[in-house]
Amino acid sequence: MPYRPQLADYGFLSDCRSGALVGLTGSVDWWCPSRFDSPSVFGRILDPTAGHWSLAPAGAGLPGHRVRREYLPDTLVLRTVHDTPDGSVAVTDALAAQPGARGHELGLNSPAVLLRVVEGLRGTVPMRSEFVPRPEYGLLTPYLHGLPGDAVLAAAGPVTLTLRAGVPLRPGDSRVVTPFRVSAGQTIGFDLSYAPAYGGPPTLLEPVAALAETVRAWQAFRETHRYDGRYAPLVRHSATVLQGLTYAPSGAVVAAPTTSLPERIGGDRNYDYRYSWLRDFAMTLRAFWVAACPDEASRLFAWVARSIGRIGDAPVPVMFGLAGERDISEHELDHLAGYADSRPVRVGNDAWRQRQLDVPGEVISAVWRLHHLLGTELDVELREMVIDLAGQVAATWHLPDRGMWETRDVDRHYVSSKVLCWVALDRAVRLAPRLGDRAEPARWARVRDEIRAAVLEQGWNERVGAYTGAFGSPELDASVLFLPVVHFLPADDPRMRATIGVVERELGTADGLVRRWSTDPAGFVLCSFWLVECLVMAGEHERGRVLFEKVVARANDVGLFAEQIDPDSGAHLGNMPQALSHIGLINAAWRLTDPTTA
């Protein structure tokens, strides 16, 4: 059988610069060591030949082998316990933190080292390590050279990897297979260090000590944040995942650490999510605010302001690279088969070229949310950005666009896009006293009211009995659940309440998942949490609580969500883990804590 674990089998490791995925059977099948959007050195999740590093009992996956795993508290350090007929062994995996890093230093100078520590718990267990590096998304097979002190150097193209272990390593032609045994009370460490081929040498760490230091760094970071609402363990864990998805040098949050994991097995909606979307911006800020992470919110805002820069006539880009790059043009990796033969595999994302009219609303809404942290006067660049974005919305709101789901067919007058245009001007009017002489609150208010009237008239479909996805369309779209969340309409408004009911009935599933539209194959986790918020805001607090608990029960065994979940099989689909899913959890938990929150 081809190697193809379920996406829910993966745990997520992060050093706040890059991410790795490790499966239940102990195989690291994805790691882009330079930064989240750099080429992988392990890519087996996208093709069986694209590289991996497995470390597990020799009989992993056979009868009698059971796996238990968990994150160490308030960390992204993953501990997996393997129970076998010969005994039990724990493998603890982490991407190393910089030695001595504490608080907000986490990730600023990560050493790009993957740590794996094996600990014997009971009996004597035969183990097997198989190290198969394949840099450049599997295009390169490196030379493997034995080094003194049980180490192997793997060098190819721009990549240098140094594997060290507490057991002898004997390199083959294209892989390093290492059988060994571990007994109760014995600890064996492995570390894999990345360095650019023509840069400095890789960082060499003592694995056991470095692992303990990484645990302390994560826990010290979490100790600086306090959340006092409902479902605190879930919120704290999702906030930790969001921090793990943060590129620490800039503060940008990636949508996911992976590319091209399919929305539908065998389908072609396979996109690269290793970038930062402005659409996610306000929701991310709200989640950081809820989870008591004000410094992360401020850093993320600074990244957005700098990335956008001066605004001209062209639409604001939908997304940016992690350091603010604009051009993230898309191309296909034809040599990769894709997860479960779901082609194409894409690098880059051409949605950055689209017109998506909701984006200014996300940005200005974020400024409004943070205005109490920004002092009595906004700085010049911030004032100019808000004024120019509001002016652009006032001039272009009537145009069709591609919508928040980034369709790749034709432009439409999406209801959610119009509502976010309303949000942009509504928040700009509120900010006007801080914006100086160039502000035009009277004009913005006039256009804002025009947009509202258009949505109320053209967004409502009498035959369907609901606000639908686009003007004049009978097709439902779960994005309209966002209307009460941004306070365009109260959730108990008769038409909004009817819309919530229709969406729940037509797009919902028995277990609480909500699809984006009728042809969507799976429930979209964020939309499911939006429904929770809508129910609570409509006064159905108990139904919202029950739905919330049904949705969170769909997380994998270590509390991670992909983008979508198949309602029948429970399989996770799409890129993994997905920031928006965890943002939705945090915001829904806070809505259950305080239904009146903004």
Per-residue pLDDT of 35-49, as tens digits, reads: 999 999 999 999 999
Alpha-carbon span 320 to 327, nearest angstrom: 8
Q: Which residue has the tokens 């490790």?
A: 22
Coil, helix or strand at residue 532: helix
Residue 395 in any domain: the answer is yes
Instruction: Name the strand (E) or helix (H) holding 195.
Output: strand 187-196
Note the pLDDT of residue 300: 66
Coil, helix or strand at residue 181: strand
Query: Which one, of 199, 210, 212, 167, lies nearest residue 186 by Cα?
Result: 167
Per residue in 428-439, pLDDT (tens digit) is 999 999 999 999
Highest mean pLDDT range out of 57-66, 117-126, 222-231, 279-288?
Answer: 117-126
Q: Are the C-beta atoms of 96 and 108 separated by less than 8 Å?
A: no
Q: What percent of the chain has pLDDT over 70?
A: 96
Residue 257 in any domain: the answer is no
Q: What is the DSSP letter of 213?
A: H
Note the pLDDT of residue 488: 98
Residue 1 in any domain: the answer is no
**Residues 487 and 401 grouped into a single domain:** yes
**Residues 21 and 136 grouped into a single domain:** yes
**Residues 213 and 361 grouped into a single domain:** no
Angle value at C-alpha 407, between 403 and 408, nearest 5 degrees:
135
How far out from the chain centre does Cα 405 lie? 16
Structure tokens at 76: 């992204």
Angstrom CA distances, 448 to 9, 391, 439, stand at 47, 12, 15
CATH number for 411: 1.50.10.10
Residue 123, φ and ψ in degrees, nearest 5:
70, -160
**Residues 171 and 308 grouped into a single domain:** no
Residue 270 in any domain: the answer is no
Indicate the pLDDT class of residue 305, thresholds 50, 70 and 90. confident
Residue where a domain terminates, one of 223, 247, 268:
223
Note the pLDDT of residue 389: 93
**Residues 173 and 285 grouped into a single domain:** no
Q: Are the C-beta atoms of 575 and 521 separated by less than 8 Å?
A: no
Q: Which residue has the tokens 């998805």?
A: 245
Residue where a domain terminates, one of 204, 223, 242:
223
Residue 232 in any domain: the answer is no
The least confident of 1-10, 267-276, 585-594 is 1-10
Amino acid at site 330: E
The domain tally of the chain equals 2
Residue 30 in any domain: the answer is yes
- What ranges make up the beta strands (E) of 270-418? 276-277, 319-320, 331-332, 346-347
Per DSSP, helices labelled H in 120-187 are 135-138
Alpha-carbon span 317 to 321, nearest angstrom: 11
**466-467 vs 460-461, strand pairing mode:** antiparallel
CB atoms within 10 A of CB 541: 14
Query: Which residue range is the domain that position 448 belongs to?
Result: 279-316+355-593
CATH number for 197: 2.70.98.10
pLDDT at 374 over 70: no
pLDDT average, residue stretch 237-252: 91
**Residues 199 and 286 grouped into a single domain:** no
**Residues 145 and 285 grouped into a single domain:** no
Alpha-carbon span 500 to 486, nearest angstrom: 15
Indicate the pLDDT class of residue 479, thresholds 50, 70 and 90. very high
Angstrom CA distances, 59 to 167, 403, 558, stand at 19, 49, 23
Note the pLDDT of residue 459: 98
**Residues 370 and 290 grouped into a single domain:** yes
Per residue in 516-574, pLDDT (tens digit) is 999 998 999 999 999 999 999 999 999 999 999 999 999 999 999 999 999 989 999 99
Angle value at C-alpha 399, between 396 and 403, nearest 5 degrees:
105
Q: Are the C-beta atoms of 319 and 275 separated by less than 8 Å?
A: yes
Per residue in 192-205, pLDDT (tens digit) is 999 999 888 888 99
Note the pLDDT of residue 528: 97
Note the pLDDT of residue 294: 58
pLDDT average, residue stretch 52-63: 91
Residue 209 in any domain: the answer is yes
Note the pLDDT of residue 154: 97
pLDDT average, residue stretch 464-485: 97
Residue 346 in any domain: the answer is no
Instruction: Report DSSP letters for 440-470, one per residue.
Output: -HHHHHHHHHHHHHHHHHHSEETTTTEE-SB
Q: Which residues contact 473 (CB under 8 A, 6 or more apart)?
A: 412, 461
Alpha-carbon span 418 to 129, nearest angstrom: 54
Highest mean pLDDT range out of 79-88, 93-102, 273-282?
Answer: 79-88
Instruction: State the sign of the Cα–Cα–Cα–Cα dihedral 101, 104, 110, 113.
Output: positive
**Residues 468 and 543 grouped into a single domain:** yes
Alpha-carbon span 248 to 352, nearest angstrom: 22
Arithmetic mean of pLDDT over the chain: 92
Indicate the pLDDT class of residue 1, thresholds 50, 70 and 90. very low
pLDDT average, residue stretch 178-184: 98
**Residues 213 and 288 grouped into a single domain:** no
Q: What share of the chain is helix, strand, coil (3-state, %, to 5)?
A: 35, 20, 45
**Residues 199 and 284 grouped into a single domain:** no
Alpha-carbon span 53 to 60, nearest angstrom: 14
Per DSSP, helices labelled H in 253-358 are 281-290, 294-308
- Which pTM was predicted? 0.95
Residue 112 β-bridge partners: none
**Residues 80 and 202 grouped into a single domain:** yes
Instruction: Name the strand (E) or helix (H) holding 210.
Output: helix 207-223
Alpha-carbon span 529 to 536, nearest angstrom: 11
